[in-house]
Amino acid sequence: MKSAIIIGSGVAGLAAAVRLKAQGYEVTVFEGGAQIGGKLGIFESKGYRWDTGPSLFTMPTLVDELFALFNENPTDHFTYQQQEVICNYFWEDGTRFSAPKSMEGFAEKAASTFNESKKTIADYLKRSSLKYELTAPLFLDQSLHKLSTYASFKAVKAVAKMSQLDLSNTLNKVNENHFKSKKLIQLFNRYATYNGSSPYKTPGIMSMIPTLEMQFGTYFPHGGMRSIVESIYQLGLRHRVNYRLNEKVTAINYDGNTATGITTKTENYTADVVVSNMDVFYSYDQLLPNLKRPNKILSQEKSSSAIIFYWGIKKQFPKLDLHNIFFGNDYEQEFDALFDKKKLANDSTVYVHVSSKAQVLDAPEGSENWFVMVNAPTNVGQNWNAIVAAARQQVIKKLGICLSDNIADYIEVEEVLDPIKIDDRTASHQGSLYGTSSNSKFAAFLRHPNFSKQLKNLYFCGGSVHPGGGIPLCLKSAHIVSNLIAE
């Protein structure tokens, strides 16, 4: 039986493991830490529970199909509920918008709230769907770095309609061309942050991202976001995937131009296939130090990082839903600070995730568990103690204005995550959440491929390689890798 080694147990590594097991490989997953899951961690204190990483869940069928590989019924092991409200949006002038789950409902309600034409909004969303339909088979479902990808009918169709993809305009310019309302432009500009980019730099093709929410829906997994990786892990256990925790990989071994296995802190292991779910920068820096580095790819601008406050709030706020955004007053200045000045703006947009809205046991009775995040630059040596302290004050001030209350009075539990800790805990270079940014129209092609161009039998999955960061794209990267190996 052929063997496969997976380095790292993030969601992509776990998914790659079960996919290769379904192909008949003997699979072993090596994890340097004591827990599986990568960024999808968990934290509990004084009756509160938080998912420590990604909080938005779309396209749950990408998880379901892993169970189908073994003829299992997904609902026996992993369940979720669709959210009626995508997100609640707040501005300091008192404007509030609760985004419905459907395109029709969104267009109607947004037209009323932002004094825009319903038809204009509906047309924008239809164009968003078209972009996704044209590009997903090319950009998301296959390797961009294989010539065979471009020989398909779908690829030819996408190229033929290239002018409709808005590759030459920024996302902000596309939105300004469609809408008059500055608030609605800001709302749609926000989607650049889904891959850690700036709406003033990322190409207009990113306007397809709303499709993921409005066409496919947003969901909350029962048991929280952590249940995503737990369910895939248990699936692997049932089908004899081997997991070796607390065994850090120190090298990827190769003979000539072929990967042959790995070395850990205790011994050497051989395998027919090696898949790295480790951040691609560290894969080369720590595991392949003598291999020629793809410097052009590794030196690409990193995506944004984050400062996250995990707050136990001893009060309930009816205005809040599962996902909530409190916008800053100068969005362009905010992203200029993040990417050009490598600092936090004085008035940053704040995201608040409250899983106890969907799962009441995540907080004590009468309380809420707040996951409070502001986008941050990657770590390049800044004074993070000072930045975090200033961010805390600014966040409390903004939330206080929008919710008409003094939030500081209700914080009874607090834990903080910053770019340095993100790097330390998840081996994400400089604390980047999504690997490289998408701040150019060529960014998709400059992400590292899902295979090594130097070593046969070496593959890469996860948020730092193609097709990108976020749970759906990480799961797609695992699928792409398994297809490449099968070929």
H/E run at residue 51: strand 48-51
Q: Which three-class secondary structure state does DSSP give residue 409? A: helix
Regarding the domain delimited by 3-39+222-299+439-486, which CATH topology (the fold level of the hierarchy) does it fall under? Answer: FAD/NAD(P)-binding domain (3.50.50)
pLDDT computed for residue 159 by the predictor: 52
pLDDT value for 339:
97
pLDDT confidence of residue 321? 98
The pLDDT of residue 153 is 46
Please report the pLDDT score of residue 150 as a whole number.
43
Given a contact cutoff of 8 angstroms between Cβ atoms, the answer to whether 400 and 407 are in contact is yes
Of 275, 314, 172, whose CA–CA distance to 484 is shortest?
275
Token pair of 204, please? 């207009």
Kind of pairing between the strands at 249-255 and 273-276:
unpaired
Each residue's pLDDT expressed in tens, for the chain with a length of 487 residues: 899 999 999 999 999 999 999 999 999 999 999 999 999 999 999 999 999 999 999 999 999 999 999 999 999 999 999 999 999 999 999 999 999 999 999 999 999 999 999 999 999 999 999 888 887 766 766 655 555 544 454 544 555 455 566 778 999 999 999 999 999 999 999 999 999 999 999 999 889 888 888 888 999 999 999 999 999 999 999 999 999 999 999 999 999 999 999 999 999 999 999 999 999 999 999 999 999 999 988 888 999 999 999 999 999 999 999 999 999 999 999 999 999 999 999 999 999 999 999 999 999 999 999 999 999 999 999 999 999 999 999 999 999 999 999 999 999 999 999 999 999 999 999 999 999 898 887 775 678 999 999 999 999 999 999 998 999 999 999 999 999 999 8
For residue 189, give the H/E element and its range: helix 182-189
pLDDT more than 90, % of the chain? 84
Q: What are the angstrom distances between the C-alpha of 206 and each of 7, 193, 194, 416?
A: 30, 10, 9, 30
Query: Is-contact 367 405, C-beta < 8 A?
Result: no
Estimate to the nearest angstrom the gap between the alpha carbon of 321 and the chain centroid. Answer: 20
CB–CB of 32/264 below 8 Å? no
**What residues does CATH 3.50.50.60 cover in the chain?**
3-39+222-299+439-486
Model confidence pLDDT, tens digit, residues 326-349: 999 999 999 999 999 999 999 999
Record the pTM.
0.94
Residue type at 452 in one-letter notation:
S
Q: Tell me whether residue 90 is exposed, middle or buried, using C-beta atoms within 10 angstroms of its C-beta: 0 to 12, 13 to 18, 19 or more.
A: buried
Q: What is the rounded average pLDDT for all residues in the chain?
A: 93
Enumerate the β-bridge partners of residue 252.
Answer: 262
Amino acid type, 119:
K
Bridge partners (DSSP) listed for residue 323: 353
CATH class of the domain comprising 102-216:
mainly alpha
Interacting residues of 272 by C-beta distance below 8 A, sequence separation 6+: 2, 3, 4, 25, 457
Residues of the chain within CATH 1.10.405 domain(s) are 102-216
Token pair for residue 155?
């690829």
What is the bridge-based pairing of β-strands 368-376 and 305-313?
antiparallel
